[in-house]
Amino acid sequence: MGLAIVTGASRGIGKSLALHLAERGHTVACLARSAGELEALAGSRSGLVAVPVDLTDAAATERVVRELLAEHGPCEVLVNNAGYGLRGAMEEVKLDRWRRQFEVNLFAPALVTQLVLPGMREARRGAIVNLSSVAGRISTPFSGAYASTKFALEAMTDALRIEVARYGIKVILVEPGPVATDFADVAHAESAELLARTGSPYHAGYLRLVESLKELHANDWTADDVARSTMHALDARRTPQRVACYGALLRVGLLLSTFTPRLMDVVLARRTGA
């Protein structure tokens, strides 16, 4: 087994996937901003390499990935997992916050993918896993900034899958629903000041959003559930295009959004108070 690269590997789904890949015998480069958490992870078992980097810094990201490829050879598995949520009404989320969200959730995976593809093509094998979200299929009120990055990631992945299939490269989209990680807490922290603005015309909706998210997260998958589903997809003889990691309620929501979009609007407006 050769090199695997996992972004956002310091916690949650990325951490679980890094551990699973190391168990398979890969040398796993764990990329994230948190040096302390990465060092602790790398010290927990052999095969894990801590690579602290801010993925919004394109020059630094390119440098560390090129160094990894030079040292370990072509990447065999790339997991683009790094990402975070941002909440707020379209009218109130500042554009600089949107831009940073796109830098982390879309442009960073695009860059790392571009860097590993030449080696994968030459070897005529490899796998690229992009962590999207059910928000890449359904955009809900007050999550437009986050959902737009995931819709874009899904479009990029769909194109990539067809482009590289002839070179023996697998491309998989993983779409988690609510997962028991600190993702929701980080999203709330990123958006807390805006959601707490009592003078906002959307304040009542923000309050209802917070309550509805508590209900939604009552039956979360775990990070390891998502990791195991992803590993199963990597092993499958016929590689799935998408791996859905959510339950029946969200599956019904997808059907409603596809076949009865007006009804879905009504459901979402009532649920979120929009």
Amino acid at 37: E
Nearest CA to 159 out of 241, 268, 61 is that of: 241
The residues that are catalytic are: 146
* Domain spans in the chain, listed from the N-terminal domain onward: 3-272
Neighbours of 168 (CB within 10 A): 13
Instruction: Give whole-number Cα distances, 11 to 7, 15, 18, 82, 250, in Å.
Output: 10, 5, 10, 10, 25
Nearest CA to 147 out of 106, 113, 186 is that of: 106
Nearest-angstrom CA–CA distance, 46 and 181: 24
> Could you tell me which CATH class the domain 3-272 is placed in?
alpha beta
Per-residue model confidence as pLDDT tens for the chain (274 residues) = 899 999 999 999 999 999 999 999 999 999 999 999 999 999 998 999 999 999 999 999 999 999 999 999 999 999 999 999 888 999 999 999 999 999 999 999 999 999 999 999 999 999 999 999 999 999 989 999 999 999 999 999 999 999 999 999 999 999 998 887 666 666 666 677 777 778 889 888 888 877 766 655 555 789 999 999 999 999 999 999 999 998 777 787 788 788 888 888 887 887 776 7
